[in-house]
Structure formats: C-alpha cells, structure tokens
Amino acid sequence: MTSLKIGSLNCRGLSEEVKRRDFFSRYRKRYDIIILTDTHCTKEKEKQWAHEWGYKAFFSSGSSRSRGVAILIKNSFTFTIHQEKKDQEGNFIILDMTIQDYRLSLVAIYGPNGDSPTFFENIKGLVSGIKNSSIIMAGDWNVVQDFDKDTSNYSAKNNIRAHDKILDMIESLDLVDIWRALNPDTKRFTWRGPGLKQSRLDYFLISSDLEPFVKNVDMDISYRSDHSPVYLTLQFYNQIKEVG
C-alpha cells in the first residue's frame, strides 16, 4: 500500500535565496512531490537549487524574472524515471515514472498567459505518446474549467480557445478535474488579483482510473504568493497496470 501526497503551487518567483530556502523547508514537510510554477529559475542555477532541495529535482527553466517549472521529489518513496520530456521556455515537464510498482505520467503545467491552444494541443500529443493509462497533471493552467463556478469579478471570458483545447485533452486522455468532481457546486479560488478578481487557475487533472485511489484533494493556505497551493493525496491499494 502506497500513500502519495502531491502539492502544486505558483510560487511567484524563487530567485531570492531566502524565500527559496523558506519555501523548500515549508513544503518539504507537507508533500512527497511538489510541482512548482513561476519559479524564475535559470539553467545555470538548476544544480544549486537541486542541492538546496536535497532530493531529486527536475527543471524546465525560463529566466530569472519569468516562467519556470520544477518537479521536486522527496526520498520518502521508491521511484524510477523512465523518460523526461520538457520544453526550453519553462512551461512544462512530463515524467514517465514508476513509483514503487505503479507506472504513471506526471505532468507539471504552467499555461501561457494568453490564449494559446497550440500549447495544450502539444501537451496532449506528448502525453498520449507515452501511452501510460495513469496520468496526473497539475500546475497553474492560466485557464479555468468553468467560467461561472471558477471566476469572480471577471468582466468577460478569456482564453476561450485554450479552454476548448483543454476540454478536448480531457476527453481524449480520459481525464477528470478531480477537485470539481468532488466539489460540484463549490466556489473556491486559487488566485487573487487586482480589482477583487479571483479564479481557480491551479488544479489537478487525473486519469479516471486513478479516481478510486483519491484520498483527498484540496486547497492549502496561501503563503508568500498570490496563489494558493493545491494538493492531492492518493492511497494505492491495487497495482496500476504497467505499460507492456
């Protein structure tokens, strides 16, 4: 039996060492795997950050002022990385991995700020190419799932074409917005902006075969960011089918 707690948060830049070490210390205690977006890490700093983290770390780095994605993994469980796919702009990382006996694709997403359907079309192609039936995707998507339920004080819908591509990916890969599935009518938000704007930009999409293993999915307390972390706890009782 394997319990796994995955956290995802937009950290709003960790180039400042004091803030970075504070974040690592805080979330190392909370999660087994951490997906970070908006890291502001550079390729030159990746080894230093990995050393400060103290365990295994994967990066897709942007600049010291924008973008950047990381997946930080603790040594609290046994895992194997079969392959890694990422872009060079700090927008996504895809890990084909086995956690003990469980094979899955773990995807870190930092969606473009603008309406970019080709980005999500590319993600769909890369994930489907790995051919794992079990998929966990998380991050700051910069796109809501349901405009009525997932936004507050917005004057108009935005990123509509990207939204439609995500819906297409959900259908194609048999994914579920697991927090919404368990909270069908709840209005809660992960991002707070100017003019009292709020939206649920950070969430997990998981393959439907993982739904029986979900123990908990929720939002955490915001800390030194305008985003709240989201987290997913899985309790595996039966082996997820390996690719064969």
Provide φ and ψ at 169, rounded to 5°. -65, -40
Q: How far is CA 219 from CA 83, 88, 152, 210, in A?
A: 30, 29, 17, 19
Bridge partners, 96 (sequence order): 83, 105
Alpha carbon 225 to its chain's center:
16
Neighbouring C-beta atoms of residue 61, cutoff 10 Å? 22
- 31 carries an active-site annotation: no
Q: Is 96 annotated as a binding residue?
A: no
DSSP 8-state secondary structure symbol assigned to residue 27: H
Q: Is 227 annotated as a binding residue?
A: yes
CB 230 within 8 A of CB 7: yes
State the catalytic residue, choosing from 31, 110, 203, 231.
110
State the catalytic residue, choosing from 150, 203, 227, 231.
227
Q: Using DSSP bridges, classify how beta strands 56-60 and 69-73 pair: parallel, antiparallel or unpaired.
A: antiparallel
- 40 carries an active-site annotation: no
Q: Is 185 annotated as a binding residue?
A: no
- 27 carries an active-site annotation: no
State the catalytic residue, choosing from 140, 150, 177, 202.
140
CA angle 44, 49, 51 (to 5 degrees): 115
Q: Is 51 annotated as a binding residue?
A: no
Q: Is 238 annotated as a binding residue?
A: no
The whole-angstrom separation of Cα 65 and Cα 181 is: 35
Residues forming the annotated binding site for Mg(2+)?
10, 140, 142, 226-227
Residues at the annotated binding site? 10, 140, 142, 226-227
The catalytic site residues sit at 110, 140, 227
